[in-house]
């Protein structure tokens, strides 16, 4: 069956029965576990698992610290700090991936709105995001959704509150 063909629906019981008949090689399972640990940024667990399983991570673990710093900054609402780290480590990345750059900017705008800095949010949107929105309908739609949070006294109760909980 090709990727584009329609898949038939399968019941949970049938799926579970099918899974029972599948054997996953230990080496494949170890690679999957290693990938998860690296992707989620569990450096200590990755190092320990590497020692115990003999599976090498798919990346240099020293760079994992940088990824963790970026993730932590984003999760703490320090989007500009995260952007600065990305630019320091990979100066070309955000220039080459404008959609990623927009999403970081959108997160910063969301943080301004969340903290009640309405005028600063409007100024930031006009100065930093309006040009990207003019040239890309998808970006425009996302920017409109984000700015719509300003129309509500409590943005957490708005239809766009999902933007406040990335």
Label residue 59 by pLDDT band (50, 70, 90): confident
Paired tokens of 11: 């019941």
Average pLDDT, the chain: 90
- Confidence band, pLDDT 50/70/90 cuts, at residue 4: low
The pTM score is 0.74
Is residue 140 pLDDT above 50, yes or no? yes
What phi and psi values does residue 48 have, to the nearest 5 degrees?
Answer: -65, -45
Quickly state the pLDDT bin for 135 (edges 50, 70, 90): confident
Q: Per-residue pLDDT tens for 90-131?
A: 999 999 998 999 999 999 999 999 999 999 999 999 998 888
- Model confidence at 1, pLDDT cuts 50, 70, 90, reads very low
CA–CA distance, 51 with 148 (Å, rounded to integer): 50
Closest Cα partner for 34 from 56, 9, 2? 56
Q: What pLDDT was estimated at residue 19?
A: 87
Q: What is the largest CA-CA distance in the chain?
A: 60
């Amino acid at each position: 069956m090709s990727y584009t063909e329609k898949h038939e629906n399968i019941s949970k019981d049938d799926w579970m029965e099918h899974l029972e008949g599948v054997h996953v090689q230990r080496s494949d399972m170890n690679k999957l576990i290693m990938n998860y640990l690296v992707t989620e940024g569990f450096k200590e667990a990755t190092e320990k698992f590497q020692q115990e399983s003999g599976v090498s991570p798919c990346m240099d673990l020293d760079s994992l610290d940088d990824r963790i710093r970026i993730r932590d900054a984003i999760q703490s609402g320090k989007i500009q700090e995260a952007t600065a780290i990305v630019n320091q480590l990979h100066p070309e990345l955000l220039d080459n991936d404008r959609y990623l750059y927009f999403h970081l900017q959108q997160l910063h705008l969301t943080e301004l709105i969340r903290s009640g800095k309405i005028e600063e949010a409007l100024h930031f949107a006009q100065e930093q995001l309006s040009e990207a929105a003019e040239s890309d309908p998808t970006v425009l739609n996302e920017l409109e959704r984000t700015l719509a949070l300003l129309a509500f006294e409590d943005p957490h109760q708005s239809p766009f509150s999902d933007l406040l909980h990335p």
